[in-house]
Amino acid sequence: MTDQGELFPIPAGSAPKAPLATRMRPKTFDHLVGQRQVADVLRRLTQGGNLPSIILWGPPGSGKTTLAGLLASETSARMVAMSAVTAGVADLRKVVAEARVHRRAGLRTILFIDEIHRFNKAQQDAILPHVEDGTVTLIGATTENPSFEVIAPLLSRSRVFRLEQLDRGELKEVVERGLEELHATIDADAMDALLEVAHGDARVALNGLEAAAGLAGEGAIALEQVEQALQQRHLLYDRAGDQHYDIVSALIKSVRGSDPDAAVYWMARMLEAGEDVMFVARRLVILAAEDVGLADPQALPVAVAAQQAAHFIGMPEAVLPLTEAALYLALAPKSNSALTSYGAARELIQETGNEPVPMHLRNAPTGLMKSMGYGRDYKYAHDFESGVADQVHLPEKLKGRKVYSPNPRDRKPGK
């Protein structure tokens, strides 16, 4: 847990000891790079003097911590920062007790909670009454969708602001400011590499720049130093968070859209970031039945075989049968008649309830049941030359109702 002075160091003597990414935090909204639309709204809120609790939602390095510090500075508030990874209810109670004392002296307390999505329900419940009574103003930062990760009562008392990843031009401006701070220069190809690997994350860019400058010494930062400083980019993929669901969605829609290149790309993003191999395999099996279906009935056996092969051989070779299946599904003709047929049947059930099974379709294992008419007049399909018996198989009241709407791409068995 830190106070604002520790989070946004100002004294000249201590500033050089802080990481470049910390030293480069803007001290005013005018010096902020990116997030202009959100920043303009937040600036107006501070000018109104009635700062609400806020949830800042955005990717790493997009400026959530910076904006929290600017809000505290612009409102002359005392800010206490904590990380939801390490803080507990006892820490929250201590902050609240201190905030009450400062409130009596007329000083507002902003409680900044980084990674607030990592607080459980009990911890979030502990914050709620103190946000409601104004003891603290909450600023939560999260990389995850707050609709799923923040409890509804707390969310309803906060304004949510969505931050976007910095674009290449904005990130380059951040790096150029960092070069001025370091009194360093950088080769063009090294700059391109740094911007490419940082991918909109200002913190990654500045930390990489500082490390590369240290390796370069007195000379210009070269591509080799950037590569050494950054090593391999950590793939942005949280198996329980937004990136997980977004990339899964991209995989599904790429297969459904018959785009083999995108299908394999998104699947590789998942696997290279450490996704459970069986999760990917299950998605392919579902896709085979839901989106390819009767347009190519062989798709389901291919997907199931890929799942079994992946389970049998494990990683890294499991990527081969999974890739084969992903390509097969993406290139196959598409039909969702399995999905629509089941959906229509479910709606029919919800509409009509538990209609009785027609007597001729009922099982008659005992003499009593036969005497009661169970199975009477049932037509055995194999007794007919066509193999089809002309009889009603739905409940009497549903005679003639349809749930299967043939897709023109559906293949009939044997064809």
Q: For every one of its 415 residues, what pLDDT tens digit does the chain have, with 9 covering 90 and above?
A: 555 444 444 444 444 468 888 888 888 888 888 888 898 888 888 887 778 899 999 888 888 999 999 998 888 889 999 888 888 888 888 999 999 999 988 888 999 999 898 888 888 988 899 998 889 999 999 988 888 888 899 988 899 999 988 889 999 999 999 999 999 999 998 998 898 888 888 988 998 999 999 888 888 999 888 988 887 554 555 555 556 778 889 999 999 999 999 999 999 998 887 788 899 999 999 999 999 999 999 999 999 999 999 999 888 899 999 999 999 999 999 999 999 999 999 999 988 888 888 888 888 888 888 888 888 888 988 988 888 888 888 898 888 888 888 888 888 776 6
pLDDT at 5: 43
Residue 365 dihedral angles phi and psi, to the nearest 5°: -80, -15
Listed by start position, the domains of the chain span 2-162, 168-230, 242-331
Contact 42, 30 (CB under 8 A): no
From first CA to last CA, the distance across the chain in angstroms is 69
pLDDT at 229: 85
Long-range contacts of 231-236 (CB under 8 A, 24+ apart): 233/197, 233/199, 235/269, 235/272, 235/273, 236/59, 236/60, 236/199, 236/273
pLDDT at 118: 85
Which residues, 6 or more positions from 334, have their beta carbon under 8 angstroms from its beta carbon?
A: 256, 258, 291, 292, 293, 295, 409
CATH code given to domain 2-162 = 3.40.50.300
Q: Which CATH architecture has domain 242-331?
A: Up-down Bundle (1.20)
Q: List Cα–Cα distances, 34 to 40, 125, 259, 352, in angstroms.
A: 11, 33, 33, 56
3-state secondary structure of 141: strand
Please state which CATH class domain 168-230 belongs to.
mainly alpha
| Rg, the chain, Cα only | 31
- Report how far residue 37's alpha carbon sits from residue 34's, in angstroms, rounded to the nearest whole number: 9
Which residues, 6 or more positions from 319, have their beta carbon under 8 angstroms from its beta carbon?
A: 268, 271
Residue 80 dihedral angles phi and psi, to the nearest 5°: -115, 125
